[in-house]
């Protein structure tokens, strides 16, 4: 069905090296990749193998709990922003069939008296697993730091101040989402593990999934499989960044396909970090991304307004 996609690989150590040429090369390579395919594989991303392994272990323990235990962490009125969301609840924009997955949300930890804390529900504590929340928080904050560096590089690529995004993402509405795609027990009618979609946020940082299945749609309309090598994470552009850059950077359509029938009996786990800004960030098209060849494509909107619109479209609100 697909060939493996050799997506461009970049090394965050180059950006942080203190060497002006290595840093400039990283900025150019990252920006070019995001203009062309919207995905990169990132090395030296701060997330240690030990932390990654422990988080996967905790996540597998959680999804292995009995249904009634998991259900107590599915909290009405939160639109799935924190805690557990049961199997099949979410669907891709433009589809009504629920995706074949269940998931958990860790949200922002506001630790500096920022008034934005009032906007966010509290994180949900899992009583049965004493390490679950601590490990989730550490991974959340590690990936948030890495995402900040990626956005600093993109700011330079876009001709902005290097720290342009910093204030917009400080205590932003980011989500760490451990996902479980359970074994498939019968022929799915038209459901897939995650139907074709684009991410809503600025950028997504994806820890290596436990099985193949991720595919991206290239400019020729072909689906290509993506896998990260050991020691890499995948980082892709979301719709908010595409919109803010007036389509200069690409939010690429992707999906998670069902495995071949002989592998239906196995679960798949993946843990994306969706980096969101604060709700008040204007996503208005950047002036330096508008020109006669690329006139302004989008109406002005804030990140919060755009997020609410999209959550309704995918069935969570």
What's the pLDDT tens digit per position in 10-50?
A: 999 999 999 999 999 999 999 999 998 898 999 999 999 99
Where in the chain are the domains? 9-196+207-313
Q: What is the pLDDT of residue 93?
A: 58
Q: What is the pLDDT of residue 211?
A: 47
**Cα 216 from Cα 226, distance rounded (Å):** 7
Residue ranges of the chain whose pLDDT lies below 50? 1-4, 95, 210-211
Q: Does domain 9-196+207-313 have CATH number 2.60.120.330?
A: yes
Q: What is the pLDDT of residue 30?
A: 98
**Cα 135 from Cα 271, distance rounded (Å):** 13
Backbone angles phi, psi at 105, to 5 degrees: -120, 120
Is the distance from CB of 207 to CB of 287 less than 8 angstroms?
no
pTM: 0.90
Q: What is the pLDDT of residue 1?
A: 30
Q: 189: which 2 tokens?
A: 């009618």
Q: What is the pLDDT of residue 3?
A: 41
CA angle, 24 then 25 then 26, to 5°: 90
First vs last C-alpha separation in the chain: 34
């Amino acid at each position: 069905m697909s060939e493996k996609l050799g997506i461009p690989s970049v090394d965050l150590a180059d950006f942080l090296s203190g060497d002006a040429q290595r840093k400039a090369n990283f900025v150019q390579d990252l920006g070019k990749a995001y203009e062309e395919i919207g995905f990169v594989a990132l090395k030296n991303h701060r997330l240690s193998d030990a932390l990654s392994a422990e988080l996967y272990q905790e996540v597998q323990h959680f999804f292995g709990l009995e249904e009634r235990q998991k259900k107590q962490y599915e909290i009405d009125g939160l639109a799935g922003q924190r805690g557990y969301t049961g199997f099949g609840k979410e669907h891709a924009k433009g589809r009504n069939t629920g995706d074949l997955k269940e998931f958990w949300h860790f949200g922002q930890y506001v630790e500096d008296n920022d008034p934005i804390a009032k906007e966010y529900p509290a994180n949900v504590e899992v009583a049965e697993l004493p390490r679950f929340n601590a490990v989730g928080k550490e991974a959340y904050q590690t990936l948030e730091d890495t995402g900040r560096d990626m956005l600093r590089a993109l700011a330079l690529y876009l001709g902005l101040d290097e720290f342009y995004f910093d204030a917009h993402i400080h205590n932003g509405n980011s989500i760490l989402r451990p996902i479980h795609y359970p074994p498939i027990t019968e022929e799915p009618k038209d459901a897939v593990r995650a139907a074709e979609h684009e991410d809503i946020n600025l950028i997504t940082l994806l820890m290596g999934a436990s099985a193949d299945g991720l595919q991206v749609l290239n400019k020729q309309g072909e689906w290509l499989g993506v896998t990260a090598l050991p020691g890499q994470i995948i980082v892709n552009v979301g719709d908010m960044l595409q919109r803010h850059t007036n389509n200069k950077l690409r939010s690429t359509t992707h999906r998670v396909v069902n495995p071949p029938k002989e592998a239906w009996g196995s679960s798949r786990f993946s843990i994306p970090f969706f980096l969101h800004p604060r709700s008040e960030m204007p996503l208005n098209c950047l002036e330096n991304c508008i020109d006669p060849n690329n006139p302004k494509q989008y109406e002005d909107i804030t990140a919060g307004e755009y997020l609410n619109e999209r959550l309704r479209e995918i069935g969570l609100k």
